[in-house]
């Protein structure tokens, strides 16, 4: 199968590539720059030039493939809301290219979108349109394609980590450096689901090979790690003090990440594992945070 992979040069996409190649898939990877194109060519990937700000370039990549894995996202988190709208446009454009075909498109969302209205771990059978995470725009875009009988499969990401990056925790480290301390709200019992990047990459390919149209898959391995445990691990790694804060101090310590300070983002993976035979084996979040490189590079 020829797979168009957006985000092919990124953190998760670069781990998906070897998983696809091992299963004899051909990969058509999106590259914005010459450096990105060289990176893909070195990995044995055919290059498709394009840009997230040009939806037609993503649509042409989708049209040239048998399937799409869309894991690209503009990670300038200071414009997070606007970037979710960009993602919505790109999904719509690729969906248009796949209309009247049986080609699947895997889109990428956040695990919290499956949180039931009454609370509890996110589930694959739940779509919560009231969730505070702006990434809901991605899933609503996917739902619009499903209504048109396009084969959309959704991968819901937790905090995806290794020893160099850790989802929203990486920009949280930058905010802690700016504020001079690592903070958690109240008793720090808010929890975030997590998964090692190698396990997440495997899940994308399983969902491509064995997934079902319209299905949502939770990529969470750990159902939830507390904010306090995360803050203490960061404090240990950076040498910054760790402190509990009240609601009126959130903006000072979390900056643009203030809306996430008290946001519960936990998720069960039982259904996903049972349906796809997913067997995660990577290290847990706190293990990676303990071994993380807390050099200046992590602020990028």
Helices (H), the chain: 13-22, 34-42, 55-63, 80-98, 136-146, 169-179, 197-210, 227-238, 250-254, 270-276, 285-291
First-to-last C-alpha distance (Å) of the chain: 35
Asked whether residue 299 carries a pLDDT value surpassing 60, the answer given is no
* Mean pLDDT across the chain: 94
Portion of the chain with pLDDT greater than 90, in percent: 86
Identify whether 92 is part of a domain: yes
> Cβ of 81: how many Cβ atoms within 10 Å?
10
Identify whether 180 is part of a domain: yes
CB 90 within 8 A of CB 52: yes
Helix (H, G, I), strand (E, B) or coil at 216: strand
Tally of structural domains, the chain: 2
Average pLDDT over residues 183-201: 97
Identify whether 238 is part of a domain: yes
Asked whether residue 78 carries a pLDDT value surpassing 80, the answer given is no
Identify whether 275 is part of a domain: no
Q: Please report how many Cα atoms fall inside a 13 Å half-sphere around the Cα of residue 102, on the Cβ side.
A: 2
Asked whether residue 182 carries a pLDDT value surpassing 90, the answer given is yes
Asked whether residue 258 carries a pLDDT value surpassing 90, the answer given is yes
Does 179 lie in the same domain as 139?
no
Confidence of residue 72 (pLDDT cuts 50, 70, 90): very high
CB 228 within 8 A of CB 164: no
Identify whether 109 is part of a domain: yes
Does 255 lie in the same domain as 108?
no
Does 113 lie in the same domain as 62?
yes
Does 218 lie in the same domain as 144?
yes
Any residues with CB less than 8 A from the CB of 24 and at least 6 apart, and which? none
* pLDDT at res. 298: 43
Asked whether residue 117 carries a pLDDT value surpassing 90, the answer given is no
> Cβ of 145: how many Cβ atoms within 10 Å?
21
Does 260 lie in the same domain as 144?
no
Report angle CA 153, 195, 283 to the nearest 5 degrees: 145
Does 109 lie in the same domain as 188?
no
Does 95 lie in the same domain as 18?
yes
User: Of 12, 18, 24, 8, which is closest to residue 58 (Cα–Cα)?
Assistant: 8
Does 72 lie in the same domain as 208?
yes
- The pair of structure tokens assigned to 285 is 């979040």
CA–CA gap between residue 277 and residue 275 (Å, rounded): 6
Identify whether 271 is part of a domain: no
Does 182 lie in the same domain as 53?
no
Confidence of residue 296 (pLDDT cuts 50, 70, 90): low
Does 175 lie in the same domain as 123?
no
One DSSP character per residue, 144-185 reads HHHTTT--EEEEEE-EEE-SS-BTTHHHHHHHHHHHTSEEEE
Asked whether residue 133 carries a pLDDT value surpassing 90, the answer given is no
Residue 218: which CATH number? 3.40.50.720
pTM: 0.94
For residue 252, the enclosing domain spans 163-193+223-264+282-299
Does 104 lie in the same domain as 12?
yes
Identify whether 210 is part of a domain: yes
CB 158 within 8 A of CB 111: yes
Does 108 lie in the same domain as 130?
yes
Average pLDDT over residues 128-143: 86
């Amino acid at each position: 199968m020829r797979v168009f992979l957006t985000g092919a040069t990124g953190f998760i996409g670069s781990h998906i590539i070897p998983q696809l190649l091992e299963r004899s898939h051909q990969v058509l990877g999106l590259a914005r720059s010459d450096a990105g194109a060289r990176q893909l060519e070195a990995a044995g990937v055919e290059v498709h030039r394009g840009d997230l700000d040009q939806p037609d370039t993503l649509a042409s990549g989708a049209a040239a493939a048998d399937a799409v894995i869309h894991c690209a996202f503009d990670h300038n988190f200071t414009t997070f809301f606007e970037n979710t709208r960009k993602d919505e446009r790109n999904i719509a454009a690729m969906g248009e290219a796949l209309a009247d075909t049986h080609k699947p498109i895997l889109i990428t969302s956040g695990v919290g979108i499956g949180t039931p209205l009454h609370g509890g771990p996110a589930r694959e059978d739940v779509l919560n349109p009231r969730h505070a995470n702006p990434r809901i725009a991605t899933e609503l875009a996917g739902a619009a394609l499903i209504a048109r009988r396009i084969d959309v499969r959704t991968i819901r990401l937790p905090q995806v980590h290794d020893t160099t990056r850790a989802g929203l925790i990486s920009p949280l480290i930058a905010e802690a450096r700016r504020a001079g301390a690592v903070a958690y709200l109240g008793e720090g019992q808010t929890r975030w689901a997590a998964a090692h990047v190698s396990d997440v990459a495997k899940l994308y390919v399983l969902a491509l090979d064995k997934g079902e149209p319209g299905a949502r898959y939770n990529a969470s391995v750990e159902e939830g790690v507390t904010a306090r445990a995360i803050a203490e691990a960061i404090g240990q790694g950076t040498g910054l003090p760790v402190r509990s804060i009240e609601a009126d101090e959130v903006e000072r310590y979390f900056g643009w990440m203030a809306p996430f300070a008290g946001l519960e983002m936990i998720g069960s993976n039982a259904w996903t594992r049972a349906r796809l035979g997913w067997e995660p084996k990577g290290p847990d979040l706190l293990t990676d945070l303990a071994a993380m490189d807390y050099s200046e590079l992590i602020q990028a």
